[in-house]
Chain A
Amino acid sequence: MTRHRGRGIASINYPIGMNLGGDPSQALVHSNPSGKFTVALSSIDLGQGMKSVTRQICAETLGVPVEDVYVDTADSDTGPHCMGSFASRGTHRVGNAVMAAAREARGVMMEAAAEELEVNAADLETDGRGNIHVKGAPHRSISTKDVAIAAQFKQGKTISGRGIFLVPLSNVDPETGEMSPATCYAHACMVAEVEVDDETGEVAMVRMDSAYELGRALNPRLVEQQLVGGAWMGVSHALYETPEPYYPDPSHGPRDFVEYLMPGPGDICPHDIAVLERPAPDGPFGAKGPGEMCANPVLPAVANAIFNAVGVRIDDLPITPEKVLRAIKAQGGARPQARR
């Protein structure tokens, strides 16, 4: 029995969002008489941080503290329409919609403040701490709370805004096959190192080194969280999990978490991540999105690393010990490739 080390590399170019009949998301922003703002979305946060990021985007656009913004994603029956949280589209599509809505709401807020301070709205600015004042004269100031109260009870105005961001459908040119399915692309590169046991066919992860280019990281800790966790979903796709049966009869397929394998805490390895920020011209504050693509480079990198380790090329996922062992036997033993 020998354990063979191998190293594989993969690079990916990932389109942000999708192109099936157009890709829109909507957002509504309104203030409450307390001076706090609510962002209404139907977009779902499954833990990736959509609520945190849209909260930041809204606060920054309105010019108010992030504590004063609440994001409500409760109900897709009553909220404004969203295509969904997939294809790494959340930050880009929903973020842009929130920005548009917050811009409109800010316009009304500044008009209401101008009326209270008896000045022109164009002469006002926000301080980001909950106040609006005359440019160059910070003492001529009113709090966003007092503006909200005045708008509600005196002026009869709703401080609110609507936002939609739509990437229209791009049709395929019948002559050339050309199309523009996405407006921006994220990129990733990974080097995966594995150890393959030529007696059992088992593949163990040794380490991963990766670089991700995802526009501006609006919340670097959330980005890191996505990349660390997403890479292990990629490993899981590469080596462990499948809803497809291993044998022709589906009754032998995995039915539960005991048979549907996923990596456990003991299977993980060191992963060094570099985040590169190249702001996207059409992204909210330059953001693209780290979502789905953080799992994608792992699969080809692992498959390449297995080839490098024992010389077998498996193109059918997941790369189970059985497949590795059969392939090694078929070629008459492990054939480690040159290491670079």
Chain B
Amino acid sequence: MAKTALQFRHNGRDVAIFVDGGTNLLVALRELIGDMTPKFGCGQGGCGACSVLVDGELHLSCLTLAETVAGRSVETLDGIKDGPNLHPLQRAFADNFAAQCGYCTPGMLMAAKALLDRNPSPSRDEVVEAISGNICRCTGYEPIINAVLAAASGGRARA
């Protein structure tokens, strides 16, 4: 089958790859670009481990056809830290013990980032809503919710 040339921005850098028709964005990122931060959980949109941002909007990369991001900007966990400095959300996740096995963490962080980018001081309910598409087996969610609130400016005041 003929491959299609695909160009998009990946964490601020232009990338160009050739994809087979039907290749999903998760496979394109992991296998063709080598960005292993989006995780393969269920492959059908049930767990949220593969969450990435496309033009700032939260997407399940396993259900996104790679070709649909042509010319758009894709942001993954790999791109959210500032050089050696962790993103405030990553710092808050570490400080609040919001990860155990860590498999859901990249998706949780991207879902939280999508929330804080549009709503810097969310309520607790808004945080719960924002991560409701992500499954975590280890933490019982409470430490994750607390971490997002801690990272949000003034989040606690409205909780």
> Are the CB atoms of A46 and B135 closer together than 8 Å?
no
> Are the CB atoms of B131 and A265 closer together than 8 Å?
yes
> Are the CB atoms of A266 and B137 closer together than 8 Å?
no
> Are the CB atoms of A233 and B137 closer together than 8 Å?
yes
> Are the CB atoms of B100 and A46 closer together than 8 Å?
yes
Whether A70 is near chain B, meaning CB under 8 Å from some CB there, is: no
Chain B interface SS verdict (over half): loop
Give complex CA distance A224, B146 in Å: 14
Give complex CA distance A198, B141 in Å: 28
Stretch at the interface among B39-47, B50-58, B74-82: B39-47
Q: Which residues of B contact A225 (CB under 8 A)?
A: 97, 100, 139, 143
Stretch at the interface among A210-218, A254-262, A300-308: A254-262
Which of B97, B101, B141, B142 makes the CB contact (< 8 A) with A221? B97
Give complex CA distance A48, B100 in Å: 6
Give complex CA distance A269, B135 in Å: 16
Whether A257 touches B47, Cβ cut-off 8 Å, given contacts A221-B97, A229-B138, A268-B141, is yes
Q: Which residues of A contact B136 (CB under 8 A)?
A: 265
Give complex CA distance A257, B139 in Å: 17
Give complex CA distance A224, B97 in Å: 9
From residue A126, how far is it (CB to closest CB) to chain B in Å? 30
Contact with B along A229-242 (1 / 0, CB 8 A): 11111000000000
> Are the CB atoms of A47 and B141 closer together than 8 Å?
no
Q: Give B49's nearest chain A residue, CB to CB.
A: A257
Which of B44, B97, B135, B145 makes the CB contact (< 8 A) with A262? B135
Q: Which residues of A contact B129 (CB under 8 A)?
A: 266
Give complex CA distance A257, B136 in Å: 11
Which of A224, A230, A256, A266 makes the CB contact (< 8 A) with B46? A256
Whether A257 touches B140, Cβ cut-off 8 Å, given contacts A47-B102, A221-B97, A225-B100, is no
Q: Give B42's nearest chain A residue, CB to CB.
A: A257
Give complex CA distance A47, B45 in Å: 24
Q: Which residues of B contact A262 (CB under 8 A)?
A: 135, 137
Interface residues of B in 50-104 (CB under 8 A from A): 97, 99-102
Whether A21 is near chain B, meaning CB under 8 Å from some CB there, is: no
Q: Which residues of A contact B45 (CB under 8 A)?
A: 258
> Are the CB atoms of B99 and A47 closer together than 8 Å?
yes
Which of A47, A228, A257, A266 makes the CB contact (< 8 A) with B132? A266
Whether A232 touches B41, Cβ cut-off 8 Å, given contacts A47-B100, A48-B100, is no
> Are the CB atoms of A268 and B142 closer together than 8 Å?
yes
> Are the CB atoms of B46 and A265 closer together than 8 Å?
no
Contact with B along A14-53 (1 / 0, CB 8 A): 0000000000000000000000000000000011100000
From residue B44, how far is it (CB to closest CB) to chain A in Å? 6
Whether A222 touches B44, Cβ cut-off 8 Å, given contacts A47-B138, A265-B144, A266-B132, is no
Contact with B along A113-146 (1 / 0, CB 8 A): 0000000000000000000000000000000000
> Are the CB atoms of A229 and B139 closer together than 8 Å?
yes
Whether B134 is near chain A, meaning CB under 8 Å from some CB there, is: yes
> Are the CB atoms of B134 and A265 closer together than 8 Å?
yes
> Are the CB atoms of A271 and B46 closer together than 8 Å?
no
Q: Give A258's nearest chain B residue, CB to CB.
A: B46
Most buried by B among A46, A221, A262, A265: A265
Which of B44, B99, B132, B134 makes the CB contact (< 8 A) with A256? B44
The 10 closest A-B pairs by CB, nearest first: A47-B100, A232-B140, A47-B101, A257-B46, A258-B46, A229-B140, A265-B141, A257-B42, A225-B97, A229-B139
Can you spell out 30 A-B residue pairs with CB atoms less than 8 angstroms apart?
A46-B101, A47-B100, A222-B97, A224-B97, A225-B100, A225-B143, A228-B142, A229-B100, A229-B138, A229-B139, A229-B143, A230-B140, A232-B139, A232-B140, A256-B42, A256-B46, A257-B44, A257-B47, A257-B135, A258-B42, A258-B44, A264-B141, A265-B132, A265-B141, A265-B144, A266-B129, A266-B132, A268-B140, A268-B141, A271-B140
Not counting A225-B139, A257-B42, A268-B140, a sample of 5 additional A-B residue pairs whose C-beta atoms are within 8 angstroms of each other reads A48-B100, A225-B100, A256-B46, A264-B135, A265-B134
